[in-house]
Structure 1
Amino acid sequence: MKPIRALHVIDSLGRGGAEQMLVTLLPALAKQGCTAQVAVLRPPYDLQPMLESHGIHVHRLTASSKWNLPRRARAIARIARKADADIIHAHLYFPAITVALLRLMRLHRARTFVSFHNLAYAGANKAGLGLWAKRQIARVLYPLGIDQTLAVSQAVAQHYRAALGLKTPKILYNPVEIPPLPDPHPARTLFRVVVPGRLVHEKGHQDLIQALTLLKTPIEMVFAGGGPLQEILSETAPDVRITGPLSHAQMQQEIQSADLVVLPSRYEGFGLTAAEAMALGRPVLATTAGGLPEVLGDAGRLVPVQDAPALAAALDALLQDDAERQRLGAAGRLRAQTCFATPAIAARLVGFYHEAHRKEPR
């Protein structure tokens, strides 16, 4: 079977879920006979060194307005020709509409893919004319310029089908590495609860702070990550330790240190940190936002979104039940191995690529 050459296009290489997914997935694709390069539309480039350490070439596009779509489409087409790409695979909004336009302008004959990572039109983004316009542009461009749509969860697939009138995307879960189990924690006086993720509205940190006022069990609470809400959360909850921005390795260390990992999200396309916590054998408590129920299955505890009393009650119950935390940790690791292990996810994507490549171009 002919090796596939893929060019992945992404908005930036900052420390986000979609960006980290590329760092995990692309080296695994190479082991499956699919070479990959990455085109990045704008800074930051935090994760570029990690990609390059795996031999993955990263192309930085020259600065231009994000709405100068024809110029960006031509730039990506030049990179695709140089890479002799069979597949151009976009991630997130501006890369996706740019790649769709590239196809409509007939700048390259590669098959075009887009991965949907979030719930863009469900309330996580500010409503208004701008979001409406972006939605209408996507409704026009995606059916005409994208050969295959993918979604990181059934929740995301149904969201984009409803929001944009698309055929239901195929599901490609985010991949996670399955590391050796960490050593048991040393004895400590307080339970450590870790909330991994960016400090942004959609992650629901404010709801957890409200739940803490109802909690009966003394705990050490850690918000692992940074973001625009860091200052206000520090003022609102001075007893919570906020780490600030972390590398992926540092985030893994924080998750490993937890007695319980909590995701109080209001919106969540997949829940990569939940899957990573499960892979590390950590018990997870999360809300029913978006793709989280699909990620956790029966291997985690779920509570309704923005329900502080339910969150506090579940926290108390789990922290007082050592056996249940151990059961959830073991079940979560097994589910991560079964559903999200990187080699299997990479093989599934390579299969999608070959399926698309066998079809005649439009």
Structure 2
Amino acid sequence: MTLKVVARVHAMPPEHNAGAEHMLAAMLEPLVERGHDVQVWLSQYGQAHEPYTYQGIQIVPQAARLDFTSVARRADVLVSHLECVPSTASIARGFGRPMVVICHNDHRPSLRDMAAGGTSLAVYNSQWMRTEAELFFAEYPKSVRPTGEVVVRPPVYADRYATKPGGAVTLINCSAEKGVHLFGELARRMPEQQFLAVKGAYGEQSPPDLPNVEVLEHVPGEEMAARVYRRTRVLVMPSAYESWGRTAVEAMASGIPVLAHPTRGLCESLGDAGIFADRGDDDAWQALLERLLRDPAEYRLASKRARARSAELDPAADLQAWCAAIEELADA
């Protein structure tokens, strides 16, 4: 049976390159492969004004059509995330359609929006997120909690990102939250080392202005392997918050070691391949980075662990569980 799955989000690739949007695209793609009719309606005004197709998914920009609610009424399943959840959930309740909420963070608004009642399936991007949600919903009556739940780690197809690593120390997203100030300090302390700063799709971007730092504008996801990872020796992620860390997993597909601040998401995604230091300890970051770059044997071991972790994160099982959950919702 062909299902009509309609998602409402604020942006999608190729207009945006944030982890949440790429996670959703990677989750919808296997539904298309199973023969289902999948549409994504955008709530944020963007460059595209006409419908287009991305990896088999029908994308409807905000300015293209006016009939989202009538399409939602005919849907078998509605999907949403982030700030689009409250309005989409209201429509789902009004039309009696099952509602799926994809949750990428444990911020109170994200979890509170799922507690409005009527969420048929909560999709968490990590085990720690599911645990946090359980603690949050313990304070709510059972009637408003999500009926079901599943953990789907942000899918990364390793063969789409695998490449031969380069020589740069790379930061992706030059915002304060992602640790651009520490990145700049490392570049200042290591003037002979090449650094690569890639501007992100969100947050105030302030890449360091140093002679050994090359700055790239925002890079579409499908170009990351050729334009970023192919030039990267070590990926640094001194992020204040990461619920998972998709770019870390992308980098590990090429055996690129990741030096990161130990957020709960990065600890879970990197596993025993992670190299961790507190983002407030500049000296520790410099020492670990220099050891990776100057000791070939240490680098080979770190690279081997990264490739092994990439293999462990093969998305096939998670995506199978996801597709089965969507099909069961429609059957119910």
- The TM-score range, normalised by the shorter chain, is 0.7 to 0.9
Residue 174 (structure 1) aligned to one of 154, 161, 176: 154
Return the alpha-carbon distance in structure 2 between the equivalents of residues 238 and 160 of structure 1. 45
Equivalent residue for 1:38? 40
Tell me the residue number matched to 1:57. Answer: 58
2:87 is the alignment partner of 1:87? no
Aligned counterpart, 1:23: 25
Instruction: Tell me which residue corresponds to 1:99.
Output: 88
Query: Structure 1 161/322 Cα, relative in aligned 2: closer, same or farther at 3 Å?
Result: same
- Residue 70 of structure 2 corresponds to 78
SS in 2 for 1:57: strand
Contact 1:119 1:268 in 2 (8 A): no
Quick one: structure 1 residues 45 and 286, their matched pair in 2 at CA, closer, same or farther if it must change by over 3 Å?
farther
2:180 to 205, 210, 217: 205
The within-5 A match list for 1:247-286 is: 247-253=220-226, 254-286=228-260
Deviations 1:213-247 (CA, angstroms, capped at 9, x unpaired): 555x84111112245543x4334x45421112112
Instruction: Tell me the distance in 2 between the aligned counterparts of 1:309 and 1:319.
Output: 15
Q: How far apart, in 2, do the equivalents of 1:33 and 1:337 lie?
A: 27
Alignment-mate amino acid for residue 54 of structure 1: Q
User: Would the alpha carbon gap of residues 86 and 323 (structure 1) be closer, same or farther in structure 2, given more than 3 Å must change?
Assistant: farther
Q: Is the 8 A contact 2:30 2:323 kept in 1?
A: no
Look up the SS of the partner of 2:57 in the other structure: coil
Q: Percent identity of the aligned residues?
A: 25
Residue 340 of structure 1: how far off its partner (Å):
3.7
Tell which deviates more after alignment, 343-352 or 253-262: 343-352
Alignment RMSD, CA only?
3.0
Q: TM-score, normalization: structure 1? A: 0.77
Q: Aligned equivalents of 2:45 and 2:265: distance in 1?
A: 28
Structure 1 pair 249/139, CA: closer, same or farther in 2 (3 Å)? closer
Aligned residue pair count: 318
SS in 2 for 1:43: coil
- The residue aligned with 1:219 is 193
Residues 57-107 of structure 1 deviation map (CA, whole Å, 9 limit, x = unaligned): 2223459xxxxxxxx9xx5431223xx422111121x21111221233x22
Task: Give distance in 2, aligned partners of 1:210 and 1:184.
Answer: 23
Contact 1:224 1:246 in 2 (8 A): yes
- Report the CA distance shift for 1:99/1:15 in structure 2 as closer, same or farther (over 3 A): same
Letter in structure 2 aligned against 1:52: T
Out of 279, 282, 297, the residue aligned to residue 271 of structure 2 is 297
Distance 1:120 1:28, change over 3 A: same
Instruction: Report the Cα distance in structure 1 between the residues aligned to 2:121 and 2:165, rounded to whole angstroms.
Output: 44
Conserved? CA contact 2:249–2:310, under 8 Å? yes
Distance 1:53 1:59, change over 3 A: closer
Separation (CA, whole Å) in 2 of partners of 1:145 and 1:201: 37
Look up the SS of the partner of 1:292 in the other structure. helix
Alignment deviations for residues 311-348 of structure 1 (CA, whole Å, 9 cap, x no partner) = 2221122112222322332332332233243x433212
Structure 2 SS opposite 1:274: helix
Cα distance in 2 for partners of 1:116, 1:319 equals 36
Q: Which of the numbers 298, 317, 324 marks the counterpart of 1:351?
A: 324
Deviations 1:175-194 (A, max 9, x none): 11121743465xxxxx4211
Q: Does the 8 A contact of 1:155 with 1:291 survive in 2? A: yes
8 Å Cα contact 1:174-1:340 kept in structure 2 = no
1:118 aligned residue: 105
Matched letter for residue 319 of structure 1: L
Residue among 116, 119, 122 paired with 1:146? 119
Instruction: Measure how far apart 1:24 and its partner are.
Output: 2.9
Alpha-carbon separation, structure 2, partners of 1:304 and 1:32:
43
Structure 2 residue identity aligned to 1:151:
Y
Question: Partners in 2 of 1:213 and 1:162 — Cα distance?
Answer: 43
Q: Which letter does structure 2 place at the counterpart of 1:90?
A: S
Letter in 2 for 1:60: P
Alpha-carbon distance, 1:163 to partner: 5.2
1:308 corresponds in structure 2 to 282
Q: Which residue of 1 aligns with 2:142?
A: none
Matched residue of 2:327: which SS?
Answer: helix
* Structure 2: stretches of 5+ with no match in the other structure: 140-144
Question: Which of 126, 130, 142 is 1:157 aligned to?
Answer: 130
